[in-house]
A and B are shown apart, each in its own frame.
Chain A
Amino acid sequence: MTVTGRPKGKGAGRTPKRSAPPPPPDDPAGKPGPRFASISASRPADRRKLNIFVSDPMAGRRARYRTSIDVNNEPGLLPGPVGALVEVIDYDGEHDQYYTPVDLNEPVHLMQGGLLPNESDPRFHQQMVYAVTMKVVESARRALGRPIKFYRSERTPRLRLIPHAFYGANAFFDPKSNAIFFGYFKADSDDPGPNLPGQLVFTCLSHDIIAHEVTHAIVHGLRRYFLEPTNHDVLAFHEAFADIVALFQRFSYAPILREQIQASKGRIQDQAMLVELARQFGYASGSGQALRSALGVKPDPTLLGRTFECHDRGAILVSAVFDGFYRTYEGRIADLLRIATNGSGELPAGHLHPDLVERVANEASVLADHVLRMCLRAFDYLPPVDVTFGDFLRALVTADLDVNPEDRFELRFNMIEGFRIRGIFPDGVFSLAEESLTLPTCDDPGLDLDPHLVELVQLLFAINARALDWAGRVVQRTRPSSDGLAAFQSVVRESDEDPDDADEEGSLLPSERGLKRKIGQGLGHYVSQRAVALGFEPDKPIAVVSFHPVHRIGLDQRVLVEFVVQFVQTDETRSAEFGGIPMRAGLTAIFSADGRLRTVVSRPMPHPGVTEPFAAAAGARADRQRAFVEAIDLGDPRLAWGPDGYEAVRMKLRKSLASLHAGIL
């Protein structure tokens, strides 16, 4: 079914209210002129080059750690920069003042990839924050197979990036403000790390810190309850995932890899070489520290059982993924080594042949990109609440097996190994064989979507496909538009559901909005009809937290289309018991394109009518959450000294403390 062929009798192509554009190229009635005009002559650039530091500004003093990356050229980018998804607001809360915003469309900036790296010009800071953010968003979009949205409310339609928000050695994502606040601080005069004593350090100039915080924002958009500490893994997972994305994002910049590989003088198969690169990660940041000590050391399977600080624990997960990456890299370059050494495996002393460096760097960067996608793809298979590292492993394997059954790189195998030797196991899985890690498939026709709902969902598939369709976007850009921003957000205007909404701009487009409302209602009906079968408490509201189509392309060009829905049920009455965090039941349901339920990831909660197979899991989960709160209480001195009412909301407050003043308590 196509978008334009809607059985509603409305005109397929809505007449635009602005200047009449030429008819679409696929319109057979169109005039030949515009149809055959070469678009490459008039089309604006797809990509915009921007200079950034690739590591911390201090390391950036050495020219080679500066690079330019290219990001989508957003039409109508405003000074700030203010784009469709994110906006940079250079407000300094410490001094209560604003700094001049950069206009990246000024010719001088267009000519040389924006401003040149320069610590003393706030406009370069703004540019770098914007560039790295967009790069990470792009990676996430590609891997997830759908656009990333930061829309939270009318007041905060975009993610705000505040590069000099406060004075302090930290940066953090604040979901409530829909903003990332970056701090700046004076390096310790006693322990400056790699910085000059007393020098000002800007967290917004660290590629890894930006990538890390943006990932927090992306993860929060995908799983809003992953900031609720319900077990030891939840916040650690948030930290770990942010580090994984930042780390592999950096590894995908081939020029840096080339540099490092050449500098290694032939130790290209030495894990230390890659570890060294990873260790330059986020130097001044707290999580970077935990990570540095976790990478490249002999894995200790007992460590997980006694590490609970969320950054330290997260570092274990990052090192598992890094290990999988490294093992795969080793396998991938073995042939290159044999060729380069005539089979001896002994590289000659001195400089490596640039061709070899180029090829090895390429392998590593392609692989890094692959790991990044694999990790992001796993997201659709995670439960909506109460995630564990084990869930991530299962999701990783399930998601990858679907699109890459052959595991040509052996990446999946190596990942499992990386997790295994660190003692990361999913609950209820006794073997780490691929088959047992894969989520069980569901085979109950009673749980499939109703046919009319399937129709609506397929419509959404079509819209999503068009939003991802690059050719369509190119055409879009060649046409005049008074508001480039709105046009960029989505290209679907033809399938209007509700013409009254047609003039709203900025967020979801009306057609999509109307359709989504209907699907949301349909899914609400679907789940309330099957509440017991899906492990929920009947007669109690169940929220449809999110639903989205997924289009994925595997290594062998295999295409996978799925429809992923998250349902959540909340029991506020038990919040006090868990320190202010309500008990929630959650279910991620994955449907095939024709509406059959393929698999579910479920987190039931106890309720009077709970039945097997959910009852046991629900009971165990409540016990685990209680034990978790107790364990945290033990080490928290604030429970004794804390302000009035601390106890009732302590888990919430601990979370905010962890994000801001990590390591104090």
Chain B
Amino acid sequence: MPPRMRRPRPAAVPPPAPRSRLRVRMYDVGFGDCFLLLLPAPEGRDRKVLIDCGSFKAGRNVLADVVGQVISDVTDDDGVARIDLLVATHRHKDHISGFADPRWDKVEVGEVWMPWTESDEPEAREIARAQSALALALHSYAQAAGAAAVADAPVLDLNVGTSVNGAAMERLRQGFRGRPRRRYLPTREASTRYVECAALSDIRIQVLGPSRDRETIFDMNPPSGEGYLALLGMRAASLAKPGASTAPEPFGRQWIDPTPSRPLDAAARSKLRDLNRDLPLELATALDKAINNTSLMLLFSIGEAHLLFPGDAQWGTWREVLKDPELCRLLEQCCFYKVGHHGSHNATPISFVSRHLGKQRQEVWAMVPVTSYSKWPDIPRAPLIDALKGKVTHFVRSDGDRQADAGFRWEGDLYVEAAIPIG
């Protein structure tokens, strides 16, 4: 066996006057998230942090092309693709589907971070059980309802997908080269929000979510109990065979009155008929919220620069963060904000934008990974985007116009990059 060859690393050339910059790359995956952080090392190669890689709906690029690009972007001069830290914020398709690609097997990963809800702890299993029971029920419903119904309510598709993201989840848990260390955060024992990453010792990383607070855990639990699931099943059955009920008859046939003298009016009867019409959509939305609230929310601090990556955390997680005055001060010092949940209203609290964002910073970057989709006209949410633009100095959408802001560098349609001073 030939000795393993490794090229000597080029001698570090200290950058000249303008102090070093951290690069944040947002890939255009369509409706999904994929971020690469490139951190200049004191010496040697850049350190690389990848946060999510998934797409629900293609935009200008197909996901496979983005995956190829990311892998080539993290490939060192020795031809080995290396990622120091890989973060999968939560198990939604639009954040992890890219990891189903077998090319990741060649990539050497230092650590894989996932939310604690993906761990083997009993509480985590309980949440996962409730979430997948609902996902499965929605899956059966979607099958009965047919493609048209699902196309009408893509949130159904997005969340049914969580039960079939198997290959991606499998790789995140078991795969990659280099026997990466798996960490499910925050740990139960953690006494501090800070988490050390071996390869990133000069960077302070705080885990802001998902919380282990009981109230917030409640927000990660979708409605459970067979009640709703049974109703969903019945709804599916009635779609397959209209008019026939699968519910048990409450009384013997002898009690049926074929000629009621005082029938119920048509309006009330139709009210009853439509009672559960929106139930599938409501449940899918509830599951979506539950899963979003498991998002790993991270705050990176490099020198004076603070970067906030909230995943798709919704109000449950945010509520916890905004309750803490110390964290609020840090949020005010953030110079980078990854806009949560593709710019929808429920992942960026109004009070965060109006009170904290950009308060103690001259220059602030915000990036929103999104592509417009006719089914969800409110994503991204126009008033939120306007408010953000008023608070930050550099704002960009992943499907945006290349000429829009000089504070970013575009690489074709593949990605857009911000260079943030960290000196």
Check if A and B associate.
Answer: yes
The answer, yes or no, to whether A100 is at the interface (CB within 8 Å) is yes
B378 touches A82 (CB 8 A): no
**Neighbouring A residues of B318 by C-beta, 8 Å:** 634
A92 to B272, CA, bound (A): 9
**Contacts of B239-266 to chain A: CB distance below 8 A:** 243, 245, 247-252, 255-258, 260-265
Among B155, B252, B262, B315, which residue has its beta carbon within 8 angstroms of that of A82? B262
**Contacts of A112-143 to chain B: CB distance below 8 A:** 120-123
What's the minimum C-beta distance from A119 to chain B, rounded to whole angstroms?
9
B379 touches A155 (CB 8 A): no
**Neighbouring B residues of A169 by C-beta, 8 Å:** 227
B256 touches A179 (CB 8 A): no
A91 to B281, CA, bound (A): 27
Q: Mark B347-359, 1 if CB is under 8 A from A, else 0.
A: 0011000000000
Stretch in A2-10, A25-33, A453-461, A655-663 with 4+ CB within 8 Å of B = A655-663
**Contacts of A627-650 to chain B: CB distance below 8 A:** 630, 633-644, 647
B315 touches A92 (CB 8 A): no
**Neighbouring A residues of B263 by C-beta, 8 Å:** 89, 91, 98
Q: How large is the interface on B (under 10, 10 to 19, 20 to 34, 35 or more residues)?
A: 35 or more
B227 touches A168 (CB 8 A): yes
Knowing A91-B264, A635-B315, A640-B341 touch, does A177 contact B226 (C-beta < 8 A)? no
The answer, yes or no, to whether A191 is at the interface (CB within 8 Å) is yes
Q: Mark A79-98, 1 if CB is under 8 A from B, else 0.
A: 11010000101111111111
**Contacts of B114-160 to chain A: CB distance below 8 A:** 155
What's the minimum C-beta distance from B43 to chain A, rounded to whole angstroms?
45
Q: Which residue of A lies closest to B279 (CB)?
A: A661
**Contacts of B331-359 to chain A: CB distance below 8 A:** 341, 344-346, 349-350
Knowing A179-B268, A640-B344 touch, does A167 contact B286 (C-beta < 8 A)? no
Stretch in A180-188, A439-447, A462-470, A610-618 with 4+ CB within 8 Å of B = A180-188
Stretch in B66-74, B96-104, B228-236 with 4+ CB within 8 Å of A = B228-236
What's the minimum C-beta distance from A102 to chain B, rounded to whole angstroms?
11
**Neighbouring B residues of A663 by C-beta, 8 Å:** 223
The answer, yes or no, to whether B179 is at the interface (CB within 8 Å) is no
A661 touches B262 (CB 8 A): no
What's the minimum C-beta distance from A19 to chain B, rounded to whole angstroms?
27
Q: Which residue of A lies closest to B268 (CB)?
A: A177
Q: Which residue of A lies closest to B225 (CB)?
A: A188
The answer, yes or no, to whether B295 is at the interface (CB within 8 Å) is no
A639 touches B276 (CB 8 A): no
**Neighbouring B residues of A177 by C-beta, 8 Å:** 265, 267-268, 271
A641 touches B234 (CB 8 A): no
The answer, yes or no, to whether B289 is at the interface (CB within 8 Å) is yes
B250 touches A202 (CB 8 A): yes
A636 to B345, CA, bound (A): 9
**Neighbouring A residues of B252 by C-beta, 8 Å:** 120
A87 to B260, CA, bound (A): 14
Q: Mark A235-268, 1 if CB is under 8 A from B, else 0.
A: 0000000000000000000000000000000000
A186 touches B248 (CB 8 A): yes
A91 to B215, CA, bound (A): 41
Stretch in A158-166, A223-231, A328-336 with 4+ CB within 8 Å of B = A158-166
**Contacts of B308-325 to chain A: CB distance below 8 A:** 314-316, 318
Knowing A640-B344, A641-B155 touch, does A634 contact B227 (C-beta < 8 A)? no
B346 touches A99 (CB 8 A): no
The answer, yes or no, to whether B14 is at the interface (CB within 8 Å) is no
A155 touches B265 (CB 8 A): yes
**Neighbouring B residues of A89 by C-beta, 8 Å:** 260, 262-264
A640 touches B378 (CB 8 A): yes
The answer, yes or no, to whether A665 is at the interface (CB within 8 Å) is yes
The answer, yes or no, to whether B377 is at the interface (CB within 8 Å) is yes
The answer, yes or no, to whether B84 is at the interface (CB within 8 Å) is no
What's the minimum C-beta distance from B416 to chain A, rounded to whole angstroms?
23
Q: Which residue of A lies closest to B264 (CB)?
A: A91
B250 touches A664 (CB 8 A): no
The answer, yes or no, to whether B288 is at the interface (CB within 8 Å) is yes
**Neighbouring B residues of A92 by C-beta, 8 Å:** 250
Among A168, A200, A637, which residue has its beta carbon within 8 angstroms of that of B346? A637
Q: Which residue of B lies closest to A183 (CB)?
A: B275
What's the minimum C-beta distance from A572 to chain B, rounded to whole angstroms?
22
A162 to B272, CA, bound (A): 11
B257 touches A639 (CB 8 A): no
A181 to B264, CA, bound (A): 12
Knowing A98-B263, A191-B225, A663-B223 touch, does A93 contact B256 (C-beta < 8 A)? no
A80 to B255, CA, bound (A): 13
A95 to B261, CA, bound (A): 18
A122 touches B268 (CB 8 A): no
Among A99, A156, A174, A661, which residue has its beta carbon within 8 angstroms of that of B257? A99
A639 touches B260 (CB 8 A): no
Q: How large is the interface on A (under 10, 10 to 19, 20 to 34, 35 or more residues)?
A: 35 or more
Among A95, A121, A168, A188, which residue has its beta carbon within 8 angstroms of that of B249? A95
The answer, yes or no, to whether B285 is at the interface (CB within 8 Å) is yes
A99 touches B275 (CB 8 A): no
**Neighbouring B residues of A121 by C-beta, 8 Å:** 251, 255
Q: Which residue of A lies closest to B253 (CB)?
A: A97
A665 touches B268 (CB 8 A): no
**Neighbouring B residues of A166 by C-beta, 8 Å:** 272, 275
Q: Which residue of A lies closest to B247 (CB)?
A: A167
**Neighbouring B residues of A638 by C-beta, 8 Å:** 282, 285
B346 touches A91 (CB 8 A): no
**Neighbouring B residues of A306 by C-beta, 8 Å:** 215
A94 touches B344 (CB 8 A): no
Among B228, B245, B283, which residue has its beta carbon within 8 angstroms of that of A95? B245
Knowing A186-B230, A665-B286 touch, does A99 contact B247 (C-beta < 8 A)? no
Q: Mark B59-78, 1 if CB is under 8 A from A, else 0.
A: 00000000000000000000
The answer, yes or no, to whether B273 is at the interface (CB within 8 Å) is yes
What's the minimum C-beta distance from A229 to chain B, rounded to whole angstroms?
17
**Neighbouring A residues of B228 by C-beta, 8 Å:** 661, 664
B226 touches A190 (CB 8 A): yes
Knowing A93-B272, A177-B267 touch, does A639 contact B346 (C-beta < 8 A)? yes
Among A99, A100, A162, A167, which residue has its beta carbon within 8 angstroms of that of B264? A162
Q: Which residue of A lies closest to B228 (CB)?
A: A664
A92 to B262, CA, bound (A): 14
Q: Which residue of A lies closest to B282 (CB)?
A: A664
B255 touches A122 (CB 8 A): yes
Among A93, A637, A640, which residue has its beta carbon within 8 angstroms of that of B269? A93
Q: Which residue of A lies closest to B380 (CB)?
A: A640
Q: Which residue of B lies closest to A185 (CB)?
A: B227
**Neighbouring B residues of A95 by C-beta, 8 Å:** 245, 247, 249
What's the minimum C-beta distance from B295 to chain A, rounded to whole angstroms?
13
A647 touches B269 (CB 8 A): no
The answer, yes or no, to whether A189 is at the interface (CB within 8 Å) is yes
A655 to B247, CA, bound (A): 27
**Neighbouring B residues of A184 by C-beta, 8 Å:** 250
Q: Mark B202-229, 1 if CB is under 8 A from A, else 0.
A: 0000000000000100000001011110
A168 touches B275 (CB 8 A): yes
The answer, yes or no, to whether A145 is at the interface (CB within 8 Å) is no
Knowing A190-B226, A633-B346 touch, does A660 contact B275 (C-beta < 8 A)? yes
What's the minimum C-beta distance from B342 to chain A, rounded to whole angstroms?
9
Could you jot down 14 A-B contacts, CB within 8 Å? A91-B272, A96-B269, A98-B256, A98-B260, A99-B255, A101-B262, A120-B252, A123-B255, A177-B271, A184-B250, A188-B225, A638-B285, A640-B378, A664-B282
* Shortest Cβ-Cβ A-B pairs, 6 listed: A93-B272, A640-B344, A637-B289, A98-B260, A167-B247, A641-B155
* Apart from the given pairs A89-B264, A174-B268, 17 other A-B contacts in the complex at a CB distance below 8 Å: A91-B260, A98-B263, A100-B255, A101-B257, A121-B255, A167-B234, A167-B245, A168-B276, A184-B250, A185-B230, A188-B226, A200-B250, A636-B346, A637-B286, A640-B341, A641-B288, A641-B376
Q: Mark A residues whose CB is within 8 Å of B.
A: 79-80, 82, 87, 89-101, 120-123, 155-156, 160, 162, 164-169, 174, 176-177, 179, 181, 184-186, 188-191, 200, 202, 306, 630, 633-644, 647, 657, 660-661, 663-665
